[in-house]
Structure 1
Amino acid sequence: MDGTLVDTEPYWMAAEEELVSSFGGTWTHEDALALVGSGLWEAATVFQSFGVDLDADTIVARLTARVSEQLVTHGVPWRPGARELLEALREASVPTALVTMSIRSMADEVVAAIPFEAFDVIVTGDSVTEAKPHPEPYLTAAAELGVDIRDCVAIEDSPAGVMSAFSAGAVAVGVPNILSLDESPASVLWTTLAGKSVADVAALVGAREESR
């Protein structure tokens, strides 16, 4: 979701800097980049090491609330082509799942802004035991969709997300946003989702089947 469907990473980074600063610490852009794609509870331990004297649940709640405030103030910043491709897939009756390490309330807030029924399944950071880069989030999504993970195409913007999808067995499409995916195990790299079609996604599945 964050960084692939919507460009909310700057919102998260601002919330993180505010949080650490409120406890007298320093949070750099490089520190924020290191957490892109990580699970929120895993990230909470990092903030604690930077002096944030709160329990993990409170850290997650505080960050999420601040990002939610920014969504209300600034709106939902869609990534180029993402909503259009999603709508085309839905019109073609392709089952879809949102796999995000944000919590369910945040995912619901973003999904509510989509003017069509976008997802059959939503998997969030508070619904899995292991966060990305572990394969559990994508394996959970495939199971809930009732499909073989090997027939799934996952679109990701972070190294952790690509690794999660790849290790689960999906065709992992990397669409870089603020981090390079050159060293990730992505099956293919797309510079943007703008102009991408259902046929482009189907071709990836076809290529996977031919290689089996």
Structure 2
Amino acid sequence: MERALRRNRGLAFLFDLDGTLVDSVYQHVLAWREATQAAGIELPVWRIHRQIGMSGGLMLAALSRETGRSLSKQDVERIQGVHAEVYAKQAPSLRVLPGALELLDALRTHRVPHAIATSGRLQSARHALRLLKLSTDVPIITRDDVRFAKPDPDLFLAAAKRLRVPMNRCVIVGDSVWDLLAARRAFALSVGLLSGGYGREELERAGAYRVYQDPGELLQHLDEVGLRISASTASS
């Protein structure tokens, strides 16, 4: 294990949350649909899903552009408030994605620095975070902590800064094209997961170095991103 620690020294993992570690994307989609409908905006679910992963404000701006309806600051705040309320009601249906807890446990066991960087505000993110059983030394960066959320790189830059690891030693793991675009803008290596609903080709075009089904498959292939942890050692 000491040899593994020396080889992995300096490498860190920065994780998105929804769709990457926790199966919560579609709960967000349905909450946004109900919130936009309450504001008189009718949108098919697939259009909302395509925007999940970026900040709520930026997402509403994109949806506003598509519908041709302008939204005031008050409209945006009202829609975001309804989204938070509806999403909170769906919190009992959230589940950890396959292999997520095992992956985080392997990183913790081998003392590999890692952090969470989510475009969601803590008010909503706390429901998913609670399922991960994170140790207190794992930094959590939310929309509340930065000026701009994804696809801007601010969340990942803040997470790397908290870990005191340069971006060129970070592996960013996300499920949406917005995660991977933010990773490219941060000049970091990125890994895509299919567990958020985006296709393999979309994630690869957005800059993913590797694409895996879910956290569990990533755990089985950590050597492909430069981390020397065997599957047997990680699960023991």
SS at match of 1:182: helix
> What does residue 210 of structure 1 align with?
none
> What does residue 193 of structure 1 align with?
215
Indicate which of 81, 97, 100 corresponds to 1:61: 81
* Separation (CA, whole Å) in 1 of partners of 2:109 and 2:134: 10
* Separation (CA, whole Å) in 2 of partners of 1:98 and 1:144: 11
* Separation (CA, whole Å) in 2 of partners of 1:93 and 1:36: 31
Q: Runs (4+) of structure 1 moved beyond 6 Å? A: none
Does residue 131 (structure 1) correspond to residue 143 (structure 2)? The answer is: no
The percentage of aligned residue pairs carrying the same residue is 25
Does residue 82 (structure 1) correspond to residue 93 (structure 2)? The answer is: no
Task: Output aligned runs, 1:18-33, within 5 Å.
Answer: 18-33=34-49
Displacement of 1:44 after TM fit? 3.0
Q: Deviations over 1:116-145 (max 9, x none)?
A: 527621111122112211111111110111
Indicate which of 181, 193, 196 corresponds to 1:163: 181
Q: Taking structure 1 as reference, are residues 105 and 119 closer, same or farther at Cα in structure 2, changes over 3 Å only?
A: farther
Does residue 173 (structure 1) correspond to residue 195 (structure 2)? The answer is: no
Does residue 16 (structure 1) correspond to residue 25 (structure 2)? The answer is: no
Does residue 150 (structure 1) correspond to residue 172 (structure 2)? The answer is: no
Does residue 205 (structure 1) correspond to residue 221 (structure 2)? The answer is: no
> What does residue 135 of structure 2 align with?
117
Displacement of 1:164 after TM fit? 0.8
* Separation (CA, whole Å) in 1 of partners of 2:152 and 2:27: 25
Which structure would you say has the larger RCO, counting Cα contacts within 8 Å and 6 or more residues apart? 2
* Separation (CA, whole Å) in 1 of partners of 2:153 and 2:100: 23
Displacement of 1:156 after TM fit? 0.5
* Separation (CA, whole Å) in 1 of partners of 2:83 and 2:21: 19
Q: Deviations over 1:42-70 (max 9, x none)?
A: 12334556567743333223212211110
Contact 1:40–1:60 (Cα < 8 Å) also in 2: yes
- Which runs of 5 or more residues in structure 2 are unaligned? 1-16, 229-236
Higher helix proportion: 2
TM-score, normalisation: structure 1:
0.85
Displacement of 1:25 after TM fit? 2.9
TM-score, normalisation: structure 2:
0.77
Q: Taking structure 1 as reference, are residues 185 and 47 closer, same or farther at Cα in structure 2, changes over 3 Å only?
A: closer
Report how many residues are paired: 204
